[in-house]
Structure 1
Amino acid sequence: MSTPVTDARQNAGTPVGGGSAGSIVTLVGNPREGSRTRTAAVAAAEEVGRRIGHGGSHEIVDLAALGPHLLAPGPSAGVEVALELVTGASVLVVASPTYKGTYTGLLKVFLDKLPSGALTGIVALPLLVMGDPAHSLAVEVHLRPLLVELGATVATPGLALLESQIPQPEQILSAWADRVAPQVAAVLGEAEKGRART
């Protein structure tokens, strides 16, 4: 079994907003290890990271390995580490396959462990992988409100990615990252200014 939390250092590219801040965390809510959802989410995080000149850490929280611990009684060290990584992110990519027209129960159970406002100050990037284009609005209708409820600033638009697009997602990911990276850079820039004033 793979570890639920892995480090995926990334190379920084030409920044959109100049400089780098904090960490990028990719949260994967697919119950299957080594999923296509994880592959797509990591690629999306890397695309955005390059555009904002991110030179910090990139961590992956893969809930597939944590599933048995999420509903178990008592605390779990792995779950606690995952929650700390998620709430300590500057940019959080939240990815799930589309189940029954929305995100997975696994992702919901994990996020339910966070208190209200736990993602305040974090830029969230919602991503859903789906088999049917009819579900493409689920990323905006279902996943975005969940992240907003937890206090995140959610960049627009979320990414709705078809399973058929995953083998060669470069063009779609690139166009999406071009749209959201300026928003991410702006929020991070404002946060940096706020820290400098205190």
Structure 2
Amino acid sequence: IDTKWLQSLSRRDFAAGLAEVIKCGFIRDPEILFLLEGQNLDSVISNESLTRNLISRAVTVKADVVNQDFKESDLREILNYGHTFGHAIESSSRYSLRHGEAVSIGMIYVAELAALSGLIPDDVVSMHRAILLAMELPISLPNEFTVENWPALLTSMRSDKKARGVVIRFVVVSAPGSVARLEDPEESILKSAYEKVLP
């Protein structure tokens, strides 16, 4: 893996790329999270060996999942962790959010949703917040988002590719490396999770 070109990226774009790496740690390879423990964005940027290892592990996760579910029938959905809400806010922001930034907020949203649904303990939510914040990724929505945006975001999530009809389906992380599905949560819980990521 050639990481030299990464030096041309801004801090913001480097961090946005790390969001997808962190996602792979949560869904499949907790070692990624252990490697990032105690790190910050500067220490990752300056450590080429660490960066190469992180990218290699993330690529391996994606390749393994795609190879096991080439037709995207079930397992491959885990690669969309954080993307259901992430895609909705990315579009709503008119792409002022980088994809990775939207996924970062999306992971926080679904972690909060899973906690509100009784599927995960609060410490898993805290882990999400800590690691994403350490990498200078957003863990709440930009200031332009308010409660008034909620109906449009809900409509957008209902048209997500994982949805079945208007039934929203989420990939949730019950523990690092362990995933589950959350299907058709109550709208009140969906909105409560949204309120937890408002600025």
Q: TM-score, normalised by structure 2?
A: 0.33
Higher strand fraction (1 or 2): 1
Q: TM-score, normalised by structure 1?
A: 0.33
